[in-house]
Amino acid sequence: MSASQNIKVAVDAVVFGYTSKEGLSVLLIKRKIKPYKDSWALPGGLVGDDESLEDAIQRELKEETSISFNYLEQLYSFGKPGRDPRNRVISITYYGLVKPDAFEIKADTDASDAAWFNIKNLPPLAFDHDQIVNAAHDRLKSKMLYQPVGFELLEEKFPFSELEKLYMAVLDRPIDRRNFKKKIVKFGFLEETNEKQALDGAGRPGNLFRFNEEKYYLLQKQGISFEI
């Protein structure tokens, strides 16, 4: 039996941002066209006939937010009938994690605004984008348990507490700080320096740490289990 098809292919991106002060956030755009005009949504759009998925998502991010990525990881395909009231649309979704202050976001094309929102305080989202964000967050939390994360998000030298804050923000739960440090240090991709943390008030400053890039990327490639 032959199938009748009139399906369009789109790409959407969940761009997570992280800062020590703000925690985990998501980059959203405000739509200036129907459907869902003036609603917040993930950056994305239809794939061109002569365009790869990777080129399409990079183009959409650049056009709608002015952000460019070296690498985005493919997440999942969303294709439930009715997810877009205009057409039958299958969305190939991607996700990534960046430092928001490394970019100057600027809305363009079919976006009237672009902004970061804390993941715990997201506005109502267009289409099924709330489901996409939830799926991406679950994937990121899972990934952090078998791959080291943080090199691109922390300063070159940082107190160990900053790495703890990063993991707690993404995992959205407390961690056993003593066991966490013991487990992380044993893998060898963190090096303790002789430099001390600058303190605003009283207290004993701790040493700063830095990533050993070679070991860090090797462990990222191999995959390890933190069992946090």
Which domains, and CATH codes, for the chain? 7-143 (3.90.79.10), 158-222 (1.10.10.10)
More confident residue, 206 or 77: 77
Tell me the average pLDDT of the chain: 91
Predicted local confidence at residue 191, as pLDDT: 92
Q: What is the average pLDDT across 171-182?
A: 90
pLDDT at 194 over 70: yes
Cβ partners under 8 Å of residue 169, min gap 6: 18, 23, 24
| pLDDT tens per residue across span 7-20 | 999 999 999 999 99
pLDDT at 201 over 60: no
Alpha carbons 110 and 10: distance in angstroms, whole number: 15
Which tokens sit at 163? Answer: 């790495």
